[in-house]
Amino acid sequence: MTTDVEATANLHETLRELRTTAQGAHSGRAAHKLTGGPDSHLTQTVIAMTAGTTLAEHENPGEATLLVLEGAVRLEAGDESWEGRNGDLLSVPDARHSLDALLDSAVLLTAVKRV
């Protein structure tokens, strides 16, 4: 399995770095893949977003969940939406969807690519 960070990566340290990067980024967000790669079906990515930032509508490449690490987010797909706060686990629908940061937020996206 290919990984993009060392096996001993610390999530709290990664979050701290991503928060700083997101705050300074024009897009208001930053992401770092913890596990996964071209030869892996499973990926885990930490995404930090400043309040008011949106990840525009995009396709779902496979089964996925979002664990809200901090803050508050809204996941939208069509006419449906789900809100999550610290500690909430949201299932990503198998449809085009978007993600809005209601507060400065960080999520852990876990996805399994379709085979």
- Per-residue pLDDT at 113 exceeds 70: yes
List % helix, strand, coil for the chain (3-state, nearest 5).
Answer: 10, 50, 35
- Give pLDDT tens digits for 28-46: 999 999 888 778 889 999 9
Of the chain, the percentage scoring pLDDT greater than 70 comes to: 92
**What separation in angstroms does the CA of 3 have from each of 21, 39, 40, 45, 57?**
21, 10, 9, 11, 27
Structure tokens belonging to residue 44: 């885990």
Amino acid symbol at 16: R
Averaged pLDDT for residues 96-112: 96
- Per-residue pLDDT at 115 exceeds 90: no
- Per-residue pLDDT at 20 exceeds 50: yes
Q: Which domains does the chain have, with CATH numbers?
A: 11-113 (2.60.120.10)
Q: What is the pTM of this model?
A: 0.87
Averaged pLDDT for residues 67-75: 97
Give CA–CA dist 50/37, Å, rounded: 26
Q: What is the distance of C-alpha 15 from the center of its chain?
A: 12
**What separation in angstroms does the CA of 112 have from each of 60, 61, 65, 70, 75?**
10, 8, 9, 23, 18
